[in-house]
Structure 1
Amino acid sequence: MKQYQYEVIVVGAGHAGCEAALAAARMGAKTLLITSNIDNVALMPCNPSIGGPGKGHVAREIDALGGEMAKNTDKATIHIRMLNTSKGPAMWALRAQIDKRLYTQEMIHTLQIQKNLDLKQEMVTKLIVNDCRVEGVVGKSGLEFSSPAVILTNGTFLNGKIYIGKTTYSAGRAGELASIGLAENLKELGFKIGRLNTCTPPRIDRRTIDSSKMKEQKSADIPLSFSFENKGKIYKDFSVFMTRTNQKTHQIIRDNIHRVPLSNGTIQSAAIRYCPSVEDKIIRFPEKESHQIFLEPEGYNTEEIYLQGFFTSLPADAQQDALHTIYGLENCKIIRYGYAIEYDIIYPNQLKYSLETKAIKGLFLAGQVNGTSGYEEAAEQGLLAGINAVQLTRGKEPLILDRSEAYIAVEIDDLVTKSVTEPYRLRTGLAEYRLLLRQDNADLRLTPYGYKLGLISEQRYKKFLEKKTLVENEKERLKEVIIHATQKVNELLNKLGTTPLSEAANLAALLTRPEVTYNQTASIDPNRSELPAEVTEQVEIQIKYAGYIKRQEIQVKRFKKLENYK
């Protein structure tokens, strides 16, 4: 059968596949992205959101390296908030509700107009491998596509099986075929295969909800965005609503627990610990009287509402009965039922840090196929795999980041060294140096890498350097601004709830106080120039937490010294 030659081939166009293909093409490699359904590119089959603790950090790191997720998120955002603002900046995390259909449409368009990138609808059934080296893929149509580098980003499609109560059928996700041939081929090639599962909640009709009985969460009233290139916006069209389960809900679930595949032994594989099903929460925490349920909008042109916190594989009738016991959902109608999906993974300790497999040269794996969970976790792996596939074909060193440089590195290090026994979810608690890995400084940490790789334009890099210079200059200026213990100054400090000055101090020293912010000192700093918010935020954080940051930098140096000790 006729062969088509490419420098890089990416199989699967979910969040990992899109980032991998775009990175490879933008680095100048002739790239092919193969997906079983072009209409479902970058689909959000579970939650209609991007971000949150750890995950929001990763989305910004992807952007800092030159990836697409943050930009695409900004195009499709309908509601956005900065989480954990009562804590320190290491814990701050953006989270956006997304119009999921718009997200897909925008990503399809981005892929279609990308130079060096071909998009093809096809089901890959086999890898072409000779002498432990990948040489291409074979499609269900019989067509062969040749390449020295292939990236598999198959998500939940490898031998995927859906469960709704006792009903089960083969599927990659709802409404799509599972990838059976490729799953068998990977076993034949000698990879150690595991099996994991995850759940998704039902979607209900917005018009059948009584939101007056629920707590409203409005979008932020300040401009926010994920991409460092975009100006923030304020979104007012959509709110998220919160309600709770109750003892009636729990009793219905207990009465039907024998019909749940995750509980009756039908599914033997491990489920995700940090995103448990509602039935699992009720069994594991019987002392809790209720659990939170968040009603999240799925987009502008749909009436579907996503039930965050009600992940389930209950039978369809039990799902409806349980929801009708919840305040505000007494009359709700289900549009799509929740389900569990079980799928094959390749244990990630079979990978190098570059995400290339140890057994087959040129074969890379990224996303849920490596045992991870989440759009952001998949996307960052895809980006790194795309970069390193191109580096391999050109005889260059792979991009391997350190745990002190990025959450991306934390995840890959955990996967490669520890492997997985359950779906891996990235969390801030997994990063030893999280004060260095804040979401606000992702560009300062990673944009130079993206620029060297050709993923960051000259124009963007110039703006980045200008920002960096503005931050350093303002920090130095604040050290030179002397504030005297005048009545005006001490009245301001009293108003802010902090100790008045007894002697002169520089403005940088005042900013180290927890009660004092950069903007609040404007009245006692008359020569201040107007600076962009992203600059002043960085100035304040770097000054206020300088001691803690320095301490972590010392810890990093000590650890690296031990790591290199022979």
Structure 2
Amino acid sequence: MSTENRNTLEENYDVVVVGAGHAGCEAALACARLGLETVIFTVSVDSIAMMPCNPNIGGSSKGHLVREIDALGGQMGINIDKTFIQSKMLNKSKGPAVHSLRAQADKQNYSMEMRKTLQNTDHLTIRQAEVSEIITDETNSKITGVKTFSGATYHCKAVVLCTGTYLNARCLTGEMITYTGPNGLQAATHLTDSLKAHGVEMFRFKTGTPARVDKRSLDFSKMQEQFGDEKVVPFSFTTDPKDVQIDQISCWLTYTNETTHEIIRNNLDRSPIYAGIIEGTGPRYCPSIEDKVVKFADKDRHQIFIEPEGLNTNEMYVGGMSSSLPEDVQQKMYRTLPGLEHVKIVRNAYAIEYDCINPNQLYPTLEFKKIKGLFSGGQFNGSSGYEEAACQGLIAGINAALTTLGREPIVLDRSEAYIGVLIDDLVTKENHEPYRMMTSRAEYRLLLRQDNADLRLSKKGYEIGLISKERYDWVCKKEELIKEEIERVSHVTLGANKEVQAVLESLNSIPLNTGTTLAELIRRPELNYEVLAPLDKERPQLPDDVIEQVNINLKYEGYITRQIKQVEHFKKLEKKLIPVDLDYDEVNSLRIEAKQKLKLYKPLNIGQASRISGVSPADISVLLVHLEQMKYHGEKSKE
């Protein structure tokens, strides 16, 4: 383009963020709130924090991520608390380790609220333009800026790439292919070439989304109504629980059937996934309806959730039925569902393919190993989901800011946060499909509960500079109150008298044979701190979140103690650092595959090395011996 060469516009910023989805918003806010002049680029200002797929925030394990984002000083939890239309704590029948909050969002309000936050944040500039190049120094090892497609140059000290599903994106509905990003927005078609020219390895992934349908064409009498919780729990630790007790909107449950499955099977040859038109790998844990019918052929039905997209729209999201089948097939199969016999489709389901990176090119700080000052987060890193994106954007933004300020970057390890598990998995394991967070991925999930995210991470948020002293002081006070109350109930003794026996009998609990402590009674499965209040004569007035922690800590004390010991062992391995310039070819007895993987991933410590696929426990033993020998010879040479 001739105009590209003539454009002499040049501007200077501390940090450039590319993309204004969930990752980009958190990255830009973190940088700006830490006082750095930040510019965030988006292909459309109207797409800021857009929710192109499901209309909810949180869910199993994802709710943990949102709570952790909030505890570190991020925005997602605050935003969903302002814009949700239904809220539910999932897995309440199970233990607290897997309790996860999920809220249905008003999509339009969520996006508008986040845009408002960005627009009113000091040091933050929003710019609608497509970034087409990254600019580095002469050695190609350090970021110096970016260039837009129009030819303007933005000089900076750090760049955070949060391109989501926009890079070289194309959407597929049967035989129809459109070269756009999600929701028909403009794709970003130039940046990939620049990244490849700088030696960045790219992947091609795909994801998909279901149709949106007209609420007026549905018969809800044939579906099961799904209500929110009576008492809503907020996502953000800063939200007053009173502010989220609102009238909630219902969701609905229906099912596919054999007729649905027959229509799908008869048209698989018209699905781009099965016709070989789609090149990218899709998410295993969020399969299309075609995948479900083929891979779970023994199931005669699948759950489908009909969820409102907002208060000011009749569009309903058909959760669990993403597809890339042609338009005519979509209408036929949707109309086989109870309640959807006369459904009118507003937006077709589609699959989307896009470029992303191989995340093994990143340090756990989310900085590229080969290009200093270049960070990345979100689906661009090969993950899926709004929450996974937001937490990576937050960490990438924090570390872009800290390194620019000459401060030490932060790395959350697997024992500290779900965020640590997610990032560690991305940078140490081979990812051949979009990564999704799950509670089963966290080894220490009893310690990493969503209810204690503030106790685990607020100190880090305060040290970084994203949490106020007032908020941090309250977390410290809360910690103290929990400790004091556990200590108190452990010394409140109760005898086997009539009053105690009567209360226990009323609660269907076994009577006492001898005296015990209040703490021991709280540990009984059928009892808890609150129901035993009539027996606790000197019970203090405590906030609900303190009571919750007292309950959990007493009931799961043995398990928690065991996990703390496991973490201590884990920390020992994490503290055994590996020199960045270690020559693995000189490590005798190390297998060839291990050498190749260690050279590729460049782990920072033994713990990280042990989690790389292809590196065996025997290889780790060899590496430990080598490091001890290096240490010994280093000490001898000093003598």
**TM bucket normalised to smaller:** over 0.9
1:464 Cα offset (Å): 1.7
Distance in 2 of aligned mates of 1:393 and 1:564:
26
For 2:324, the aligned partner's letter is: S
Q: Verify: 1:380 aligned to 2:391, yes or no.
A: yes
Amino acid across the alignment from 1:193 = M
| Paired position in structure 2 for 1:445 | 456
Residue 515 (structure 1) aligns with: 526
The range that moved more, 171-180 or 212-221, is 171-180
CA contact (8 A) 1:220 1:234 kept: no
Bigger Rg, structure 1 or 2: 2
SS at match of 2:160: strand
Residue 100 of structure 2 aligns with an amino acid whose one-letter code is A
Q: Does the CA-based 8 Å contact 2:360-2:429 persist in structure 1? A: yes
Report what 1:26 is aligned to. Answer: 33
Q: Which of these residues, 315, 328, 336, is aligned with residue 325 of structure 1?
A: 336
**Within-5 A mapping of 1:489-528:** 489-528=500-539
Partner of 1:430: 441
Shift of 1:234: 2.7
CA–CA distance in 1 between the matches of 2:572 and 2:478? 32
Match of 1:40 in 2: 47
For 2:274, what is the secondary structure of its paired residue?
coil
3-state SS of paired residue (1:383): helix
- Post-superposition offset of 1:468: 1.7
Contact kept, 8 Å, 2:16 with 2:40, in 1: the verdict is: yes
**Structure 1 residue 319, shift from structure 2 partner:** 0.6
- Cα distance in structure 1, aligned partners of 2:154 and 2:568: 46
* TM-score normalised over the length of structure 1: 0.98
Superposed counterparts of 1:70-89, under 5 Å: 70-89=77-96
Among 295, 299, 303, which residue is 1:292 paired with? 303
Alpha carbons 1:153, 1:366 under 8 Å: kept: yes
- State the alpha-carbon separation in 2 of the partners of residues 231 and 506 from structure 1: 34
Supply the distance in 2 between the matched residues of 1:487 and 1:333 (Cα, whole angstroms). 66
CA positional deviation for 1:503: 1.4
- Structure 1 pair 562–119 and aligned structure 2 pair: CA distance change class (3 A): closer
Paired position in structure 1 for 2:220:
211
1:66 equivalent to 2:77? Answer no
Q: Report if the CA contact (8 A) 2:64-2:449 is conserved.
A: yes
SS, match of residue 520 in structure 1: coil
- 2: CA distance between counterparts of 1:303 and 1:487? 60
Match of 2:597 in 1: none
SS of 1:174's partner is helix
Alpha-carbon distance, 1:139 to partner:
1.1
- CA-based RMSD of the aligned residues comes to 1.1
Counterpart position of 1:550: 561
Give the distance between the partners of 1:378 and 1:511, measured in 2 at CA.
39
Contact 2:87 2:232 in 1 (8 A): no
Match of 1:467 in 2: 478
Provide the rounded CA distance (Å) in 2 between the counterparts of 1:267 and 1:205. 29
1:56 partnered with 2:63: yes
Return the match for 1:96 from 96, 103, 109: 103
Q: Give distance in 2, aligned partners of 1:397 and 1:274.
A: 36
* Correspondence for 1:240: 251
Runs of at least 4 residues off by over 6 Å: none
Deviation, 1:563, is 4.6
2:495 maps to 1:484: yes
Q: CA deviation at 1:564?
A: 4.4
1:355 lines up with 2:366 in the alignment: yes
2:381 corresponds to which residue?
A: 370
Which residue matches 1:162? Answer: 171
- Cα displacement (A) at 1:388: 0.4
The aligned residue for residue 308 of structure 1 is 319
For 1:188, the aligned partner's letter is A
Q: Could you tell which deviates more after superposition, 458-467 or 410-419? A: 458-467
Q: Percent identity?
A: 51
Q: What does residue 13 of structure 1 align with?
A: 20
Which one-letter code corresponds to 1:512 in the other structure?
Answer: R
The answer on whether the counterparts of 1:10 and 1:17 sit within 8 Å (CA) in structure 2 is yes
Aligned pair partner of 1:150 in 149, 152, 159: 159
If the length of structure 2 is used for normalisation, what is the TM-score? 0.87
Deviation of 1:494 (Å)? 2.6
| Deviates further, 222-231 or 98-107 | 222-231
- Residue type at the aligned position of 1:429: S
Higher relative contact order (CA 8 A, sep 6+): 1
Match of 1:106 among 93, 108, 113: 113
Matched, 1:393 2:400: no
SS of the aligned residue for 1:296 comes to strand
Give the Cα separation in 2 of the matches to 1:525 and 1:146. 64
Maintained 8 Å contact 1:148/1:393: yes
1:220·1:235 contact (CA, 8 Å) conserved in 2? Answer: no
**CA shift for structure 1 position 476:** 1.4
> Using the alignment, how far apart are the partners of 2:83 and 2:548 within structure 1?
25
Write the deviation string for residues 256-293 of structure 1: whole angstroms up to 9, x where unpaired.
11100111111132111111000110011111110000
Corresponding residue number in structure 2 for 1:531: 542
Q: Which residue of 1 is the match for residue 210 of structure 2? A: 201
SS in 1 for 2:101: strand
CA deviation profile, 1:342-391 (whole Å, cap 9, x unmatched):
11111000001110001111000110011000000000000000110011
User: Per-residue displacement from partner, 1:208-267 (whole Å, max 9, x unpaired)?
Assistant: 111111111101001311001112223433111100000111111111111001111111
User: 1:191 aligned to 2:203?
Assistant: no
Contact preservation (8 Å) 2:88, 2:232 = no
Q: Is the 8 A contact 2:97 2:450 kept in 1?
A: yes
CA distance in 2, matches of 1:391, 1:564: 22
- Write the deviation string for residues 495-533 of structure 1: whole angstroms up to 9, x where unpaired: 333321111111111111111111100111122122111
Q: Which residue of 1 aligns with 2:419?
A: 408
Secondary structure at the counterpart of residue 272 of structure 2? coil
Q: In terms of mean alpha carbon deviation, does 266-275 or 401-410 score higher?
A: 266-275
Pick one of 116, 124, 129 that aligns with 2:131: 124
Q: Distance in 1 between matches of 2:359 and 2:47?
A: 26
Which amino acid in structure 1 is aligned with residue 365 of structure 2? Answer: S
Partner-residue secondary structure (3-state), 2:541: coil
Distance 2:194 2:360 in 1: 19
Choose 456-465 or 20-29, whichever is displaced more. 456-465
Partner Cα distance (2:479, 2:374) in 1: 38
Q: Which residue of 2 aligns with 1:272?
A: 283
Q: CA-to-partner distance for each residue in 1:164-220, whole Å, 9 max, x for gaps? A: 001112112122111111011111111111111011000001111111111111010
Q: 1:254 and 2:261 equivalent?
A: no
Aligned pair count?
566
Inter-partner Cα distance in structure 1 for 2:252 and 2:328? 24
Secondary structure at the aligned position of 2:98 is classed as: coil
Task: Please give the per-residue CA displacement for 1:441-475, whole angstroms capped at 9, x wherever unaligned.
Answer: 00000000000111001221122222222212211
**Which runs of no fewer than 5 residues in structure 2 stay unpaired?**
1-7, 577-623, 625-639
CA distance in 2, matches of 1:354, 1:530: 42
